[in-house]
Structure 1
Amino acid sequence: MGFRPERVPDPQRRPDASMDLLNNLRDTALDPSYPAVAAAGGGRRRGPVLLPALLVVGLLFGVALANQWRTAPAAAQERADLISRIATTEQHIDSLRAHTAELDQGIRELERAGGALTPAELERADTLAARVGTTAVTGPGVRVTLDDGTDASVQGSQVVDADLRMVANSLWANGAEAVAINGHRLSSRTAIRNAGDAITVDYRSVTRPYVIEAIGDARVLEDAFRRSEGGVWVEGLAQHYGVQWSIGRVGEVALPADPGLGVDRARTRR
C-alpha cells in the first residue's frame, strides 16, 4: 500500500501566492491611460463643455415659460368668451321654450273651441298632458332641497346626478303627479346626467342648491318619501358625507310644462 508524503512548507513562498490572478485584476481594474489623463488635467476639460450645455437648457426653459405666459391671457379670454356664448345661448333656448309653451296652450284652446273632442276626451287629454308634462300644473305638494356638504375636502360630499335621480324616482313611486328640478319639468324622456363638475337636466345645466318639487298629497308624499329608498339614500349621504337635505310641505306648487316634448309621429286610430 502506497503512502502520500507530507508537503513541507516553503519558507520563501508568500501566503497569498495562490491569489496572484485576483490581485492582478484588482490592481489593473482601471485603464492604464486613465491615471495619465487625470494627472494631465483631463477631468477639468468638461467644465467649459458643461457650462454652454446648461445655458442652452436654461434658454429653452425660458422660452417655453415666456410662451406660456403670453398665451395664458389669451386662453383665459377665450374661456370667458365661451362661457358668455353658452349663457347667451341658454337664455335664447329658454325664450324659445317659453314661446313654444305659449303656442301649445293656444293650440289646446283652439281644440276646445273647435269642438273636435268630446268633454270626456278633453278631460282625458288634460289628465294625460299633466302626467307627461306637456302642460303646466299647480297644486299642493312637497319640496326637497339637496346641497353639497360644507367640507369640500370630504370625498362624496358633492351631490351628483345619481342622487337627483334617486330623489325624483322615489317621489314618482310614492304618488307624485308631476316633478321638477330647479324649475325644469321632468318627463319619461328627461335625462339627468353629470357633465364634468355640473349636473344637467335635459342637457341644461342646473346649479346648487338643487330643489326638487313634486305635486301630490303633501302629507302622504312627505311621510312616504322619508321611509322610501330615496329618503334612506339622502339620509345616508347626510350622515356619512355631510350632504345637506330637507323636505317640507308646500301649499301650492307651480310647475311649468316641458316644451321639449313634441309629437314626432302620429297615426289615426282605427
Structure 2
Amino acid sequence: MNVLPTLSTRQWLNKVPEVMLLFWIIKMMSTTVGETAADYLNVDLGFGLVETSVVMAILLVISLFFQISARRYIPALYWIAVVFVSVLGTLITDNLTDNWAIPLSVSSTVFSIGLIVTFALWYAREQTLSIHSINNLRRELFYWVVILFTFALGTALGDWIAEGLSLGYINAALLFGGLIAVTALAYYVFKVNSVLCFWIAYVLTRPFGAACGDLLSQPADHGGLGFGTTWVSALFLVTIVLLVVYLSLAQKAVSQE
C-alpha cells in the first residue's frame, strides 16, 4: 500500500473510516447528540454557554491529540472526536446567537465562507479533498477544521430554517432529508463527482440530525415530541457506543485474517 509522507518522516495509514451505511448512521446520530447534549449541559444542568463551551473545547483538544497521534484509523478515537466536534460546533453557533445576538443568517453565511476558504486552501496545498487520502498530518488538520465548520454551519443553518424562518422541526427534517436524497441520487444515478457529493451530504446531515434531535427532545408546545434532551442524548450515545464497539471488533477480526 502506498502511504504518503508527513511533514516529517512519519508515515501512517488513512485516518478516517470508509464511507458505508454505518458511517452515515453514526454521523447522523452524533449530530443529534451534539444538539441535545449541548442543550442538556447548558440548560438542564445550568452550566451556561461559556462554561460548557470551554469544557467541550478542552475535551475536543484532548480527543484530537489522541486521534492525530494514532498512525491509523481507530474507530473509538475517531468517533469520540466527532462527538466532541459536534457538541462544540453547536455551542459555537449558540454562543454567537445567544451571547452576541448575531443572526443565524449571518452566522450561516460566515461559516459557509470559512468552509469554502478552508476547502480552497486544502486543495491548493494537497491537490485533493478526498477522505480516502487522509494520510499525512497536514491533510488531517485540514480535515478536522472542515469538520468543525460543517457542524457549526449545520447548526446555524438548521436553526435558521426551523426556528428563524418558522418552518418547524418536522418540515426542516423533511427538507434536509430530501436534499440528502437528491445528493445520493446525483451520485448513484447521474455519477456526479464522489468527493463533491460526500461533502455536500456531510454538511446536510448536520442540520438534518439537529432537526431530528430538536423534534425528539423539544416539548410539544415548541413543536417537538417532548422526549427530553436527557433521554434522547442517552439513547443516541448508547447506540453510537454499540456501533463503534462493533466496528472495532470487525476491524480487529479483519486485521487478524
Coarse TM-score class (shorter-chain normalised): under 0.3
Larger Rg, first or second structure (1 or 2): 1
Q: Which has the higher contact order (CA 8 A, sep 6+)?
A: 2
Greater fraction of residues in strand: 1
Task: Please report the TM-score for the alignment, with normalisation by the length of structure 1.
Answer: 0.21
